[in-house]
Amino acid sequence: MLEQTLDCLVETADVTRPLHAVRPGGLAVFLDSLPQAQHRFLRQLDFSAAAQELLFLPGGDGVAGAVLGLGEDRSPAAFGNLAFRLPEGAPWQLQPGDYDPDLATLGYCLGAYRYIALKAAKRGPAHLLAPGQAASRSAASATWMVRDLVNTPANLLGPVELAEFAVSVGRRYGAGGEIVGGEALDVAYPTVAAVGRGSARPPRVVIIRWTGSAARADAPLVSLCGKGVCFDTGGYDLKPSSGMLRMKKDMGGAATVLGLARMIMDADLPVRLVVRVGCVENSVSGTAMRPLDVIRTRSGMTVEVGNTDAEGRLVLCDLLAEACEESPSLLLDCATLTGAARVALGPDLPAMFCNDDGWAEALLRNGLERHDPLWRLPLWPAYDRWLDSSVADLNNVSTKPYAGAIVAALFLNRFVASGIAWVHFDVYAWNDQTTPGRPEGGEAYAMRASFGAIAQRLRMLANAE
């Protein structure tokens, strides 16, 4: 099973239990609104409305309600630790308060996720009554899908399985899907083929095309590209066991762009959408690419393989080159590309590279507004020469030990045509530990921010007409 159904929300219920969400500044007024017995109960337990503080209100038949402290947290995480703390039974219903209901629903859903495909669940999440709220449901469902994909073991999710799943996502919304493999892939995507040549599981490239119901023939073209390395050994430049341990998540970029595409299609945005995913496994064998091999890319440029563990940029470069042939309004790629980005920014901040200040500002702003933060790093031109090769047009790595995330982005930039707005996300795609709304395991970073920026740009275009 590659995807769970969002099962923590209900649309209707005959009986519900109240869930109050309170901030310290509104605590006195809230307490005065309660029956005296419940007022005294909360006072005696010193309820202070601190973030994540949860107390249950007693009733004649047991738990009559619950009170959640929000502190000053206005993010979805304020509600992200509830689903498995609330008792099951009658659904819970959030009462009006000083919070955003959509963010509350999203946070509740994000915290209700568990990867249970391969083990028996001890209990399910408590149900929350949340009629409507299509945007929150869409974002939560897309996030669950991304997490499920990243969490699935590599023996159950290889290049073929990922490609087939990607096509199935598009088909839900009437999108056309194409899977390219074999000799056709060797010709059209030689770098993807080179990365996948060492594995017994053949590489694939997926192309999904969808048009919104209100999109005209000249509607903006949004092109998404994702790195789908289902497992990365490093190739001949073999990773140590510690570095290989989580490499099932190396398709996190592909999962994220599929989640973003799902949100775009679910909202029926008035765009033309094209998604390209390179599905591949980087393995070691007698047919695997070797250090110092030279590959001729789709664009005609030759690349010397300075390191076989820098395979993600090889998977993406042919996809970007093909995407540019269609002159998209926005070209966006996502990849678990470098450890250097994590050294610089840690696991929670995706590194963003962008050649268009307008798009960069919109993405950063939406990242803050949607509690999906990003951090922009520069496409520093002085480092571009670090990719020089004596035998090819460029090397896939630099011999210098600095600025690894920037150098990787500069490599990709070589394959982006002049004049095309392009953004590249270098993401971790993983939570190292469980925090409210973010259980340990796969994660969808930069997805909500990207959707918000795209939707916002479309509204601006519509208002300008």
pLDDT of residue 62: 83
Helix axes 447-464, 357-369, angle to 10 degrees: 120
pLDDT of residue 61: 79
**Six-digit token pair at 7?**
């099962």
313 is catalytic: yes
Which residue do the tokens 């399985």 mark?
A: 161
CATH superfamily entry for domain 138-464:
Zn peptidases (3.40.630.10)
pLDDT of residue 2: 74
* Per-residue pLDDT tens digits for 380-429: 999 999 999 999 999 999 999 999 999 999 999 999 999 999 999 999 99
Q: Does domain 9-112 have CATH number 3.40.220.10?
A: yes
Q: Tell me the C-alpha distance between 336 and 353, whole Å.
A: 14
Which residue do the tokens 């090397």 mark?
A: 395
Of 313, 370, 448, 457, the catalytic one is 313
Torsion angles phi and psi, residue 314, rounded to 5: -70, -35
Is 368 buried (19+), middle (13-18) or exposed (0-12) by CB count in 10 A?
Answer: exposed
- 150 neighbors 271 (Cβ within 8 angstroms): no
Q: Tell me the C-alpha distance between 250 and 253, whole Å.
A: 7
Distance between first and last Cα of the chain:
45
pLDDT of residue 59: 83
Q: Tell me the C-alpha distance between 385 and 395, whole Å.
A: 10
The C-alpha angle with vertex 122 and arms to 120 and 125, in degrees rounded to 5, equals: 110
- Domain boundaries defined on the chain: 9-112, 138-464
Distances (CA, A) of 453 to 10, 269, 334, 378: 29, 12, 15, 20
Alpha helices by DSSP H, 357-425: 357-369, 404-413
pLDDT of residue 1: 56
Query: What is the pLDDT tens value at each position of the chain, 465 positions in all?
Result: 578 999 999 999 999 999 999 999 999 999 999 999 999 999 999 999 999 999 999 887 789 999 999 999 999 999 999 999 999 999 999 999 999 999 999 999 999 999 999 988 788 999 999 988 899 999 999 999 999 999 999 999 999 999 999 999 999 999 999 999 999 999 999 999 999 999 999 999 999 999 999 999 999 999 999 999 999 999 999 999 999 999 999 999 999 999 999 999 999 999 999 999 999 999 999 999 999 999 999 999 999 999 999 999 999 999 999 999 999 999 999 999 999 999 999 999 999 999 999 999 999 999 999 999 999 999 999 999 999 999 999 999 999 999 999 999 999 999 999 999 999 999 999 999 999 999 999 999 999 999 999 999 998 877 776
Nearest to 146 by CA among 295, 259, 24: 259
pLDDT of residue 8: 96
Nearest to 194 by CA among 331, 276, 298, 275: 298
Which residue do the tokens 């510690």 mark?
A: 242
239 is catalytic: yes
Q: Tell me the C-alpha distance between 84 and 175, whole Å.
A: 36
Of 85, 239, 296, 376, the catalytic one is 239
pLDDT of residue 182: 97
The C-alpha angle with vertex 392 and arms to 406 and 343, in degrees rounded to 5, equals: 20
Is 390 buried (19+), middle (13-18) or exposed (0-12) by CB count in 10 A?
Answer: exposed
pLDDT of residue 111: 98
pLDDT of residue 463: 77
For 394, other C-beta atoms within 10 Å of its C-beta total 21
Which residue do the tokens 């590194």 mark?
A: 351
Which residue do the tokens 């048009």 mark?
A: 211
pLDDT of residue 191: 98
